[in-house]
Chains A and B, each alone.
Chain A
Amino acid sequence: MHPDFDIIIIGAGPAGMSAAIEAAKHGASVCILDEQASGGGQIYRNVSNSKQDQVDILGKDYLAGRQYVDGLRHDRILHRAGVTVWKVDKAGTVVFSDAGRAEQIRGRHIILASGAMERAVPLPGWTLPGVLTAGAAQILMKSGSIVTRDAVLVGSGPLLYLVATQLLAAGAAPKALVETQTRRDLIAALPHLAKALRDWKQLFKGVRMIAALKWAGVPRFKAASDIAIEGEENAEAVRFRAGGKDHCIDTNIVLLHQGVVPNTQISRSLGLEHHYDHTQRCFHPVIDEFGQASHPMFSIAGDGAGIGGAKVAALSGRICALNALARIKKISGGERDKRVRRLETSKRTELSIRPFLDTLYPPPQSVLLPQDETIICRCEEVTAGDIRRYAKLGCKGPNQTKSFGRSGMGPCQGRFCGLTVTEILAAETGETQDAVGSYRIRAPLKPVTLAELAALAETNEKEAAE
């Protein structure tokens, strides 16, 4: 099978879109595959179709995504929207489904830009209907013009404030913010403040959001602990401890957030090298300064390689594109180095706020290592206590927990429990997270029907006959 494209990009968020635009600009043929109906990823979701009232609520940073979506309209870029990638191999073949039909294409180089997903927040009651991620509430605003009224936001991090202020702007003020960061986190973060000031505009934006919440009279509870969501068929209340007192707030909607983590399903399925990042408390695929992964066929751009946010993602997308272009000999190594150097400088400036934010808003121990009764694998309803029991029975790695009790074997394929299982096993065995490792991920990366597989076999036979 001959390569169909010079470069295949998986994911049309800021990283993937800017990689596609940069690659096409230098004469490469590009196919960019994405699960959503239009380009933008989650951060710029639906931005090309957004209406004025959405833009008013979501702010001008959101609107910045339009330039990338517009840039995808290029002769050399084929944007396949609404498709689900479920297999990638080291020969550069990408298999995906489009409206129930499977297809495969091959590229000379692949850029993985599958972005981030919300960190799992395993608290008692987090599986109840009415409990969503803060990101989900934002997606509802972006893609459906829907707000969550009287929601309680639980967790920590910039997105918690952003969603809260966006809800405020939409006239749907949240009932309260239950925040987990402590005074100790603030003290730990202070040494990173000087560096963060290099990106003072971002810092100022944060201060302004917090001021807006105060001005609107939205109660904020800090250093909250013992958080539990109560309810039978739906969330009914959030119970927690803060300021030395027990609190209980009635609500039908709870929005959880403890930062985002790289979605490493594809890079894991390829057996690429990963390492555990102790500041961001998650695994990052190993990449060099050009975004090159541990196998020559793949570069990794954006939050999928480590959390940096939309601007960093767009810059790293361009860097990966230049890396890919040099690899397939569309540009010289010298030209790549020259162009990357300039992008690298901007990327470093954009990243200067990260150590401050990562240290100020860490996931609390109660989320990293939940109490025994808490469900950690949502699909198979496996609890933290189950995983600890498996460890005591001699279970050494995340993969073995599957045979012990099916954790990670449901439809989400370990996306939401993977990191928690690693953390619990590391704590129980005294090994490092790197030594414990993570689930082995295999294709199909998303569930496919037998009909889709069968149709793929037919096209393969036809191609072989030709």
Chain B
Amino acid sequence: MFESFDKSDPGRTLSFTYAGKSISAKPGMSVAAALLTHGVTAFRGTPVSGAARGPFCMMGACYDCLVLIDGVTVQACLTPVHEGLVVERVPITSEDA
């Protein structure tokens, strides 16, 4: 389980959506960190086999945390949350998946 230990400013939260679901987060958090605290560990399926994947390195090196924002695939661990952000799952495009 991923839990926040931040006890400061409990009121200061913002919300964004992931795959249509509303997710609350603290300002300054990455999309990846926010999703993890909501129990979302699998962000996408791989283009090869469709296997579930989620954040692995949290530093922008592994590209396993890819999500879709404004039609562009981005690394969720490098993308800060902001109010009203719309995050989608990356569609699996491979034919054999």
Q: Which residue of A lies closest to B80 (CB)?
A: A37
Q: Are A381 and B46 in contact (CB under 8 A)?
A: yes
Chain A residues, Cβ within 8 Å of B60: 35
Q: Which residue of B lies closest to A49 (CB)?
A: B28
Q: Are A381 and B48 in contact (CB under 8 A)?
A: yes
Tell me the B26-47 residues at the A interface (CB within 8 Å): 26, 28-30, 33-34, 36-37, 41-43, 46
How far is it, in angstroms, between the C-alpha of A51 and the C-alpha of B34 when the chains are bound?
18
Q: Are A378 and B62 in contact (CB under 8 A)?
A: yes
Contact among B1, B52, B73 with A233 in the assembled complex (CB-CB below 8 Å): B52
Chain B residues, Cβ within 8 Å of A100: 72
Q: Which residue of A lies closest to B25 (CB)?
A: A144
Q: Are A234 and B57 in contact (CB under 8 A)?
A: no
Q: Are B62 and A57 in contact (CB under 8 A)?
A: no
> Chain A, 126-146, contact with B by CB distance < 8 Å: what is the 0/1 string?
011111110110011001111
How far is it, in angstroms, between the C-alpha of A139 and the C-alpha of B36 when the chains are bound?
13
How far is it, in angstroms, between the C-alpha of A416 and the C-alpha of B60 when the chains are bound?
12
Q: Which residue of B lies closest to A148 (CB)?
A: B2
Q: Are B53 and A53 in contact (CB under 8 A)?
A: no
Q: Are B52 and A140 in contact (CB under 8 A)?
A: no
Q: Are A140 and B62 in contact (CB under 8 A)?
A: no
A30–chain B nearest beta-carbon distance, Å: 23
Q: Which residue of B lies closest to A45 (CB)?
A: B59
Chain A residues, Cβ within 8 Å of B46: 379, 381
Q: Are A117 and B57 in contact (CB under 8 A)?
A: yes
Q: Are B62 and A415 in contact (CB under 8 A)?
A: yes
B67–chain A nearest beta-carbon distance, Å: 13
Interface size for B (C-beta < 8 A) is 41
How far is it, in angstroms, between the C-alpha of A128 and the C-alpha of B59 when the chains are bound?
18
How far is it, in angstroms, between the C-alpha of A146 and the C-alpha of B41 when the chains are bound?
14
Residue B8 lies at the interface, judged by CB distance under 8 Å to chain A: yes
Q: Are A144 and B51 in contact (CB under 8 A)?
A: no
Contacts A37-B80, A136-B58, A412-B61; A146 near B51 (Cβ below 8 A): no
Residue B49 lies at the interface, judged by CB distance under 8 Å to chain A: yes
Contact among B36, B61, B72 with A415 in the assembled complex (CB-CB below 8 Å): B61
Q: Are B57 and A118 in contact (CB under 8 A)?
A: yes
Chain A residues, Cβ within 8 Å of B4: 144-146
How far is it, in angstroms, between the C-alpha of A416 and the C-alpha of B59 when the chains are bound?
13
B28–chain A nearest beta-carbon distance, Å: 7
Contact among A53, A128, A140, A170 with B33 in the assembled complex (CB-CB below 8 Å): A140
A395–chain B nearest beta-carbon distance, Å: 20
Contact among A135, A144, A447 with B59 in the assembled complex (CB-CB below 8 Å): A135
Contacts A35-B78, A412-B63; A132 near B58 (Cβ below 8 A): yes
Report, nearest first, the 7 A-B pairs whose CB atoms are least far apart: A145-B6, A129-B54, A136-B58, A144-B33, A411-B63, A129-B41, A129-B42
Task: Give B contacts to A, CB under 8 Å.
Answer: 1-8, 26, 28-30, 33-34, 36-37, 41-43, 46, 48-49, 51-64, 66, 72-73, 78, 80
Pick 30 A–B contacts, CB within 8 A, sort by A: A51-B8, A53-B8, A117-B61, A127-B51, A127-B53, A127-B56, A129-B42, A129-B54, A135-B59, A136-B57, A136-B59, A140-B2, A143-B28, A144-B26, A144-B28, A145-B4, A145-B5, A146-B5, A146-B33, A146-B36, A147-B5, A171-B5, A233-B52, A234-B42, A234-B52, A253-B1, A378-B64, A381-B48, A412-B62, A447-B73
